[in-house]
Chain A
Amino acid sequence: MTARSFAIYGKGGSGKSTIAAALSSAFADLGLRVLHIGCDPKADSSRPLLRRGRVRSVMGEAMTTRLLDASSVLVRGVKGITCVEAGGPEPGVGCAGRGISRTFELLAELGVSLASYDVVVYDVLGDVVCGGFAVPMREGHARYVAVTVSGTGMSLFAANNILRAVRRFHRNGVRLAGLIGNYHTGEAFRDRVPRFAAATGTSVLVEIPFDPQVQKAEERRATILDWRPQGATARAVRRLASRLLDLDDPPPPKPLEAEAFERFLARPRKRRRTAR
């Protein structure tokens, strides 16, 4: 069986890593064999899945050792989730994008078979800033792309950019799963997310409400599913997992052109009625 693969993209700070780790945990709860790949030079995506210790990143190992071994970069986390971190250069030097590309080449060279997993989750740094960060899409590693948005202008701007990349790689078999509305910084712009999804021809997979427990879970190096398994956020993540697994062949997105996007942002938002 071929692994189902999902890449989580989104603006920096929009909760990609939190959701990706929780998603991996949700898949594992369903009894699936999960590979979690962090594509970020910070190498912190799998932190909540490990509880203690840290994955030695592929780039970190490749830079310091001559003979790279799969066992030194693949680490078993909670619920049997296998974690890999791409890693990358120190801040301000080198080319992190090339580091991501090289990670995938190295994983293939090391004989890491994605087919031995049921699900692969990619947590990708920020926006699709260069070819390196598009590798999960470009090389056909991730079949479905989900984009985290909070409804703020900048997060939608980044999402619109990512949609462009998805449309570009639609020919490679990449599909846009949809948007993940994550309102961890507040719900002031919540109404924009469904409108943006409608405008770009996609859908909102799930809306995750503001939940202070998410922050607490992160501080304790746990996913929200392990910290508050019955909470609203955990339920939303489980819903997301099952929706992702049910995806078939969504149509290509229709990202907005620059002017249309500006018009979209300028449109007055619906005011919420508040009880007096």
Chain B
Amino acid sequence: MTARSGSFWDYLGRLAAGLAAEGCGCGAVLPDVDGGLLFALRDAAGRRHVARLRPSGGENRERGPSFERGTAPPAMIRRLRRAFLRFAARNPHPLLDHRGQDIGEILLRRGGELPEIWREELVPGTTRWSSFVLEELVPQSGALYATFRDGERRVRLRLTDREDPRLAGAERVLPVGNLALSLVEDDRTPPVRPADQVERFLAYLVARTTGPRTRIRGDGATSPSVTSYGGEVELNPFLPEGRQGASGMAAALSSRRGSRLKVVVFGDASCRQTFPPLRRLPLFDSWSCFPVGTAPEPGGWVAYDFSERDVIGGAERRLERLLRALRRRDPAVRIALVQTCVSRLIGDDVRGVLRKVLDDDAFVVLDPDFQAKDWAVDALVWPWVLRAFRRPVRQRRNLVNLVGLGGRGAPWAAELAGLLRDCGIGVNARLFPSFREEELERFDAAPLTVASRCSIVRSAFAGVDRTAGPSRWVTLDPPFGIEGTRRWVEGVVREIGGGPLRGAARDRLERACRARRRDLAPIRAALRGASIALVAQSRFSAWIFDPAEIFGIRILDLLTELGLEVEIFLHRDVPPPRELVRAVEGRGDVTFRTFDEAGALREALAASRSRLLLTSIRRNTPALALGKIPVFVQTFEPGLDGAVRSARRLAAGARFRFLERYGRYMRR
């Protein structure tokens, strides 16, 4: 903003000259630390006066500028008011507009990017106050440090919460609502002229861009997860994040950096607690506790803090104001609005307000029915995401969209793209559970969209009209295991119209598969004789045999390929799935056992030689007590490299003897 409009000091100089030209006797205009403006005036008799333009935020926002006249005659203030309005209308400056009133909290990430609200106002090397230029802006230890420099002179300021204990020892503190600005270093020689008072400018800027309740917070002691996929949040597609409900989805959407997509949480302050990225925690799946990334600065997140007044009187008007503000900043903004319990209970017509401000395709309300199924949020959001960002583009041959295999940051993404590239096929866009807007915009450039054959993907995209776009949708088994990956590549080639894979492309794929089989051989040797137990205690736990329910994994084929024998424990009442019976017929590496009650199962498992046990229960204490190593579906990764990595994990688990001796102590 300041970067866009030049120095605010220069602007105020022009304002003073403009007001003087209109006969207001204005000599100078200075910003006040609370967001107001101070006008140095001189009347016809030469007497000096100071008038003050009130901050005009909050409740008085819509009542127009209001002046404190001090000793100045009323007529002079009336003239000043008119002249000021004329000048501001002809020469608008963003800092005259008071915004950010509804911001409840600003989160600073150590070493991370700056909060979006100041991304345009505070630009190192560009933002300046008179001759002082902003040299550096660093979020650190829950504070924002701004360094201004003018030649040898240096001023370092710290913006913190007003309650921050560091303020106790600070030399000079300027309170700005709930925030406070303090001087950390100061090379200026007193008395400091207004032209050098950078703290005055910064306090004004903060006051104009935040609200009276805004607080600032650091990322605390939580450090980023070591398993993070780099800067961007990438959800593991093989985790049922849909079960996190609307809040998980909103967290995932909101963590998209620099996105046009804004997530508005329409509820009270405590609703933000449901957003892992905003708490600076690694984003993890609640089911498996498997960290799938860390969140960057929550640029796309807009807090809405319900007050008592909103609850009683309805918050539609404030919501509309918020949406209009977002739209002003970015006319192409896309809004995902999380409707919280409070908002649902008071029955605000949020869709009506959204329709008033935005086009139908520009918003989605994350308001799944309380009784809805696990994937209700996915089914709501993904078709919308596709609608909201898709653009008409020219179709290009030999491009494919991949749905259900993660985004560009997934560990297997590059390998799969490489395998397809070797066959002359380019990956155009990846969708679910991550996405990139620029990829979605060109979604229709690919003549083929390949979706993974599993229930998550089917549910999430059930609402997509696959005939509407030019891209043809097909469903293939996802590429798990070496054989599975080979079949998948061949399937994509066949579907795109290339027929069976032939020639050099086929040779390249075979070479890659052979190389991974070589890598897999020693792991298979290490796993020789090891087995894994698969337990179906009831009809509902028979999911482990259904590929559709486990991300498309054909578990028996995969385990065998990775070198494991399989013991299946079925409750007597569980009818063996027909596919399973077919799959195990004539196979010596799969054995069946039945049991009729929990005690019998425990005994059977205790007697079993399987050291690994496939389970969906995060802390499966009965299994741990029996010395079994729990293995989750998430252990398995797609791709050729993924197969090797999966096998290594299983081998490490099979070698792990600790639980055999001490597992019984983990019963509680």
Interface positions of A (Cβ within 8 A of B): 59, 62-63, 66, 88-90, 93-96, 98-99, 102
Q: What chain B residues lie within 8 Å of A99 (beta carbons)?
A: 312-313
B312 to chain A: closest residue by CB: A99
* 10 A-B pairs with least C-beta separation: A93-B314, A94-B314, A95-B346, A99-B312, A89-B313, A94-B313, A94-B312, A98-B312, A63-B313, A98-B311
Asked, given contacts A95-B346, A102-B308, whether A89 binds B314 with beta carbons under 8 Å apart, the answer is: yes
Beta-carbon nearest neighbor of A100 in chain B: B312
In angstroms, Cα B148 to Cα A109, docked, is 48
B192 CB within 8 Å of chain A? no
**B-chain residues with CB within 8 Å of residue A96 when the two chains form the complex:** 312
Q: Are A94 and B311 in contact (CB under 8 A)?
A: yes
Question: Would you give 27 A-B contacts (Cβ < 8 Å), ordered by A?
Answer: A62-B309, A63-B309, A63-B312, A63-B313, A66-B59, A88-B312, A89-B313, A89-B314, A90-B314, A93-B313, A93-B316, A93-B348, A93-B349, A94-B310, A94-B314, A94-B315, A94-B346, A94-B348, A95-B311, A95-B312, A95-B345, A95-B346, A96-B312, A98-B308, A98-B311, A99-B312, A102-B312
Could you tell me the distance between the alpha carbons of A93 and B345 in the complex, rounded to whole angstroms?
A: 11
Compute how far the CA of A62 lies from the CA of B345 in the bound complex, rounded to whole angstroms. Answer: 21
A75 to chain B, nearest CB (A): 21
Cα separation A89 to B308 with both chains bound (whole Å): 12
- List B314-356 residues whose CB lies under 8 Å from chain A: 314-316, 345-349
Q: Is the CB of A90 within 8 A of B59?
A: no
Q: State the majority secondary structure of interface residues on B.
A: helix
Q: Report the Cα distance A167→B315, complex, angstroms.
A: 35
Interfacial chain A residues near B311, Cβ < 8 Å: 94-95, 98
The tally of CB-CB contacts under 8 A between chains A and B is: 41
Return chain A residues, CB-CB under 8 Å to B310.
94
In the assembled complex, the Cα of A96 lies from the Cα of B311 at a distance in Å of 9
- Inter-chain contact B313/A90, CB cutoff 8 Å: yes
Give the Cβ gap from B301 to chain A, nearest Cβ, in Å: 25
Contacts of A89 in B (CB 8 A): 312-314
Taken together as a complex, chains A and B put the C-alpha atoms of A28 and B349 apart, in Å, by 44
Cα distance A155–B65 when bound, in Å? Answer: 54
Q: Which of B433-467 contact A (CB under 8 A)?
A: none
Q: How many Å from the CB of B294 to the closest CB on chain A?
A: 38
Q: How far is the CA of A95 from the CA of B346 in the complex (A)?
A: 5
Total interface residues on B, CB under 8 Å, equals 15
> Inside 8 A of A102's CB, which chain B residues have their CB?
308, 312
Mark B residues whose CB is within 8 Å of A. Answer: 59, 308-316, 345-349
- A62 and B315 CA atoms in complex are apart in Å by 15
B354 to chain A, nearest CB (A): 16
- In the complex, chain A residues whose CB is within 8 Å of the CB of B349: 93
A187 to B349, CA, bound (A): 42
Q: State A63–B311 Cα separation when bound (angstroms).
A: 11
Q: Smallest distance from the beta carbon of B177 to chain A beta carbons, Å?
A: 16
CB-nearest residue of chain A to B316: A93
- Complex alpha-carbon distance, A89 and B349, angstroms: 14
In angstroms, Cα B348 to Cα A93, docked, is: 6
What's the Cα separation between A98 and B345 when bound, in Å? 11
Q: In the complex, A66 Cα to B348 Cα: how many Å?
A: 24
Additional A-B contacts beyond A95-B311, A99-B312 (20; CB < 8 A): A59-B313, A63-B309, A66-B59, A88-B312, A89-B313, A89-B314, A90-B313, A90-B314, A93-B313, A93-B314, A93-B316, A93-B347, A93-B349, A94-B310, A94-B313, A94-B314, A94-B346, A95-B346, A96-B312, A98-B311
Residues in B with CB closer than 8 Å to A90 are 313-314
Residues in chain B near residue A88, CB distance under 8 A = 312
Bound Cα distance from A95 to B312, whole angstroms: 5
Contacts of B308 in A (CB 8 A): 98, 102
CB nearest neighbor in A for B310:
A94
Query: What's the minimum C-beta distance from A209 to chain B, rounded to whole angstroms?
Result: 39
**Chain A residues with Cβ under 8 A from B348's Cβ?**
93-94
Q: How far is the CB of A65 from chain B (nearest CB, A)?
A: 9
Minimal Cβ-Cβ distance residue in B for A93: B314
Provide the residues of chain B in CB contact with A95, threshold 8 Å.
311-312, 345-346
User: How many Å from the CB of A73 to the closest CB on chain B?
Assistant: 15
Which of B310, B312, B348, B349 has most A Cβ within 10 Å? B312
Q: Which residues of A contact B59 (CB under 8 A)?
A: 66
Chain A, residue nearest B58 (CB): A66
A41, chain B: closest CB distance, angstroms? 10
A88 to B309, CA, bound (A): 10
- Please indicate the chain A residues that have their CB under 8 angstroms from the CB of B316 in the complex: 93
CB-based nearest A residue for B315: A94
| Neighbouring A residues of B347 by C-beta, 8 Å | 93
Chain B nearest CB from A91 CB (Å) reads 10
Complex CA–CA separation, A94 to B349 (angstroms): 10
User: B497: shortest Cβ distance to chain A, in Å?
Assistant: 57
Complexed CA–CA distance, A89 and B316 (Å) = 12
CB distance from B621 to the nearest CB of A (A): 41
List A contacts of B314 (CB < 8 A).
Answer: 89-90, 93-94
- Find the A residue at minimum CB distance from B59: A66
CB of A223 to closest CB in B, whole Å? 30
- CA of A66 to CA of B58 in the docked complex: distance in angstroms? 12
A21 → B minimal CB distance (Å)? 25
Residues of A within 8 A of B313 (CB): 59, 63, 89-90, 93-94, 99
Closest to B346 in A: A95
By CB atoms of chain A within 10 A, which of B310, B316, B346 has the most? B346
Q: How far is the CA of A94 from the CA of B308 in the complex (A)?
A: 10
User: How far is B308's CA from A66's CA once the two chains are assembled, in angstroms?
Assistant: 13
Residues in B with CB closer than 8 Å to A66 are 59
Specify which chain B residues have a CB less than 8 angstroms from the CB of A98 in the assembled complex.
Answer: 308, 311-312, 346
Closest to A87 in B: B312
Could you tell me the distance in whole angstroms from the C-beta of B314 to the nearest C-beta in chain A?
3
What residues of B have a CB within 8 angstroms of the CB of A62 in the complex?
309
Closest chain A residue to B309, Cβ basis: A63
Residue from B308, B310, B315, B345 with most neighbouring chain A CB atoms (10 Å): B308
A contact residues around B346 at 8 Å (CB) = 93-95, 98
**Alpha-carbon distance A11/B477, docked complex (angstroms):** 62
**How far does the alpha carbon of A95 sit from the alpha carbon of B315 in the complex, in Å?**
11
Tell me, in angstroms, the Cα distance from A99 to B310 when the chains sit together: 11
Minimum CB–CB distance for A98 against chain B, Å:
5
Residues of B within 8 A of A93 (CB): 313-314, 316, 346-349
Shortest Cβ gap from B350 to chain A (Å): 12
Q: Roughly how many angstroms separate A195 CA and B294 CA in the complex, as a whole number?
A: 69
Interface centre among B313, B315, B345 (most CB of A within 10 A): B313
CA distance A99 to B314 in the complex (A): 11
List of B residues within 8 angstroms of A63 by Cβ:
309, 312-313
Q: How far is the CA of A24 from the CA of B316 in the complex (A)?
A: 38
CA of A24 to CA of B309 in the docked complex: distance in angstroms?
Answer: 31
In Å, the complex CA distance between A90 and B348 comes to 12
How distant is B332 from chain A, measured CB to nearest CB, in Å?
Answer: 30
Could you tell me the distance between the alpha carbons of A96 and B345 in the complex, rounded to whole angstroms?
11
What residue of chain B has the Cβ atom nearest to residue A103's Cβ?
A: B312
